[in-house]
Structure 1
Amino acid sequence: MKSNIVLDVHDRPRPMQWLGLSIQHLFAMFGSTVLVPILVGLNPGIALFSSGVGTLMHILVTKGKIPSYMSSSFAFITPMIALMKTVGYPAIAQGTIAVGVVYLLVAILVGFLGTGWIDKALPPIVVGPIIMVIGLSLAGNAGKDATMNNGHYDIRFFIVAFATLFITIMFNMLLKGFASQISILIGVFCGYIIALAFGLVDFTAVINTPWFKTPDFQVPFVSYQPQIYWGAILGMAPIAFVTMTEHMGHIMVLNELTGKNFLKDPGLNKTLAGDGAASIVAGLIGGPSITSYGENIGVMAINKIYSVYVIIGAAIFAMIFGFVGKLSALIQSIPLPVIGGISFLLFGVIASSGLRILVDNQVDFNKNRNLMIASSVLVIGIGNAFLQIGDFQFSGVAVATIVGMLLNAVLPQNARSEKQ
């Protein structure tokens, strides 16, 4: 595989080549990066800026050895949406920082104990259903965005949402190469045009917003006086264990593509620490929780360009675009039915990724143990059976994660009825 590489990890592209490749890489990541803040209710400008800063932080911690871009994570979107509607961003910030701290603690443990204990605590039968829950628990939000206009059913919303969905699927299936990688971005653009034709787009904010505008930074003790939100911390921190498994999967794929062994150099403890540091920085400046991204690997696999300098360039441009006020306003003007149509696909892909983990690992559902774990996790998470203890609240996804890990730890490999 290494012989096919156009630019290896430490290869420096020529200046104009660097410029074009960096913008192209960011362009492929753009849709997913800004969709999370749109769904949560955060400013897209700060999401772009925090993804750039987080990426540079990850590269710094890993000593420039991993071509990995950090971006807004869909895994934490359910608790973030709930927190934004109730307490506001300060709670999301604490949850995001808590996620980063969990990563750092696990990185320390990995440095001393290795990775075997992670595989035992989070086998496919636990991780697969949890990832399915993350996608399926948001299905109701997608359906509401695609049909309801200020509490009333609107056929225009339905048409725009499903047109956006089908156009995105068509582009993904019919295009190839880089164009296929940005099918979501193309779908959003086409859906936006259709919504404009139906009179569902309001350009007022775009017109009134200046070209240059500082992102909506939310810095503790400067923008707000922080207080401890245990519900946010306990609701988001457990989900970090799920994204860690995705992170390890990304590293292993990069190993295959580049012919290197990043698990040894710089080491999984360093890559986890980089993710944790990136998330902490994002929480300190106003961004959502961020982590390594599969889309990043997909783009590199297509163009065979793994240069960390290209990733650095994409991060710098993301930070610059965060200060373009009209760009943020334009992103925020995307109508709900367009978001709903894209969400059908995005949330479904997340759920399907969990299913793929079960299939790829040939999980046997004829075994009662596997059936009990998956069934409990799915219904607890999708039903949002949250735990409320005073002011503390575990989200349904967090409860499902903990229940799945506990059941995996205590249940025997075979039920008595299965023993011969």
Structure 2
Amino acid sequence: MERTHRDEVVLDIPDRPKLGAWIGLSLQHMFSMFGSTVLVPILVGLNPGIALFTSGVGTLLYILITKAKIPAYMGSSFAFIVPMLSLMAKGGGGYPAIAQGIWAVGAVYLIVAVIVALIGSDWIDSLLPPIVVGPIVMVIGLSLAGSAATNATMRTISATKSVYDIRIFIVAIITLLLTILFNMVLKGFLGLIPILLGIVSGYIVAIPFGLVDFTKVTAAHWFALPTFEIPFVSYAPHLQIGAIIAMAPLALVTMTEHMGHLMVLNKLTDRNFFQDPGLKRTLAGDGTASIVAGFFGGPAVTSYGENIGVLAITKVHSVWVLGGAATFAVLFSFVGKLSALIQSIPGAVIGGISFLLFGVIASSGLRIIVDNKVDFNVKRNLMISSAILVIGIGNAYLQVGKTQFSGLAIATVLGIILNLVLPREAASEKELAAKLDEEYEVN
């Protein structure tokens, strides 16, 4: 029989808080995801207002599909920044290409959800072990290092010319140091939003350096409809094979993050979401949220660890609170001055934040390897990780006609293939093991 309430928590999953507390708790969750969710579109060049809208709508869809049994928030995913930057560059196809990549990502989630419903989920661990996932996550962070350095040093003069500006570097370093400080010393709710605080502080520091332009903020209306990128309304879509192949394989990587978050939530809420409502529903909810995001002009979405942290600290697990946060995100996306303010954040601030953020992503990949005690004395592991890291970080892309496959996508696919075909032991390792066995028997 399913448990409906736990006395050791303030609010359990099905509990609805009183209106005043509901508003406050929901705003807390919204601001916890706010910094990361708007940072992704800022880095890529998308509209942050649309990202807020699609994160809110995606969360509400996820809650609906999972039968309101999982307190999770869906925010902009960092895993797809590299291919999105490539697609947003000149000749990359722009958002129409990104949208098709996002739809492909959602489709992969839905296909895997169907497979899980038919045969279970054990095969996922075999396809994506730590030796594949860890290096890929490291590539996602490290391959963005150049972008962070450019934002933190260069001032754009025209579409084709940038120059080094010491003011930008100073502001970037100050922003980085302040964000590190916030991460280390703040506690409670403020300790959950160090990225947001870092962006705000860096923005304030950038003003006296003359790096902030308030023109668009002043001109913006308080109420403004986000400039949605809707197919057949904003643009006429045509098949973008390169975008699909560049982004779709990464869905397999974010699925491991998805399942990791479910494991944490299982322990936190004393439930088993893999059984009820089932992994097939959680994957379907995540995939559907991304597909809808692609139809409106937002980035792909995924479950957010920041919000899980809020659940752990507050002991408020109410799905009503997460639904309220999603509703507030949708409402805030229509505040024109807020969107204009976000877009006025200078590149120096984004560069400073990115130094830390991209490094944390790379370090998360390293943590996967360390936590799972991956042995690099085993040649198989060394070969797989080496190929993934150099191809991915170096962006050894494949160009076939007008279709380009990013280094990250190639590294992901190659890592999966190598893991499936390489033997557990190299011939030299087998030979050495045989000699050691022989010497042991003799002695």
Q: Do residues 16 (structure 1) and 33 (structure 2) align?
A: no
Gaps of 5+ in 2: 1-5, 157-161, 434-443
**Corresponding residue of 2:145:** 139
Match of 1:37 among 32, 35, 41: 41
Letter in 2 for 1:125: I
Aligned-partner SS, 2:207: helix
Distance 2:30 2:363 in 1: 25
Give deviations 1:369-410, integer Å, cap 9, x for gaps: 000000100000000011111232211111000010000001
Distance 2:188 2:405 in 1: 41
Aligned-partner SS, 2:249: helix
Give deviations 1:203-236, integer Å, cap 9, x for gaps: 0000011111001111111111110000100000
**Corresponding residue of 1:99:** 105
**Corresponding residue of 1:128:** 134
**Corresponding residue of 1:367:** 378
Distance 2:384 2:188 in 1: 39
Gaps of 5+ in 1: none
Q: Do residues 168 (structure 1) and 179 (structure 2) align?
A: yes
Give deviations 1:265-321, integer Å, cap 9, x for gaps: 000010000000000000011111111111111111111111100010000000000
Q: Do residues 113 (structure 1) and 124 (structure 2) align?
A: no
Give deviations 1:95-131, integer Å, cap 9, x for gaps: 0011000000000001111111100000000000000
Match runs of 1:175-324 below 5 Å? 175-324=186-335
* 8 Å Cα contact 1:234/1:392 also seen in 2: no
Match of 1:156 among 156, 167, 177: 167
Task: Give the stretch that moved more between structures: 118-127 or 301-310.
Answer: 301-310
**Corresponding residue of 1:416:** 427
Give deviations 1:233-258, integer Å, cap 9, x for gaps: 00000000000000000000000000
Question: How far has the Cα of 1:330 moved from its partner?
Answer: 0.1
Say how many residue pairs are matched. Answer: 420
Distance 2:402 2:245 in 1: 11
Distance 2:116 2:174 in 1: 47
Which protein is bigger by CA-based radius of gyration?
2
Distance 2:75 2:371 in 1: 26
* 8 Å Cα contact 1:129/1:378 also seen in 2: yes
* 8 Å Cα contact 1:96/1:236 also seen in 2: yes
Letter in 2 for 1:165: L
Q: Do residues 58 (structure 1) and 59 (structure 2) align?
A: no
* 8 Å Cα contact 1:66/1:308 also seen in 2: yes
**Corresponding residue of 1:74:** 78
The Cα RMSD (Å) is: 1.0
Letter in 2 for 1:270: R
**Corresponding residue of 2:96:** 90
Distance 2:164 2:7 in 1: 56
* 8 Å Cα contact 1:230/1:391 also seen in 2: no
**Corresponding residue of 2:436:** none
Question: How far has the Cα of 1:3 moved from its partner?
Answer: 5.3
Question: How far has the Cα of 1:4 moved from its partner?
Answer: 3.7
Distance 1:129 1:363 in 2: 11
Distance 1:403 1:197 in 2: 48
Distance 1:176 1:414 in 2: 47
Aligned-partner SS, 2:380: helix
Distance 1:417 1:251 in 2: 40
What is the TM-score with the length of structure 2 in the denominator?
0.94
What is the TM-score with the length of structure 1 in the denominator?
0.99
Task: Give the stretch that moved more between structures: 284-293 or 97-106.
Answer: 284-293
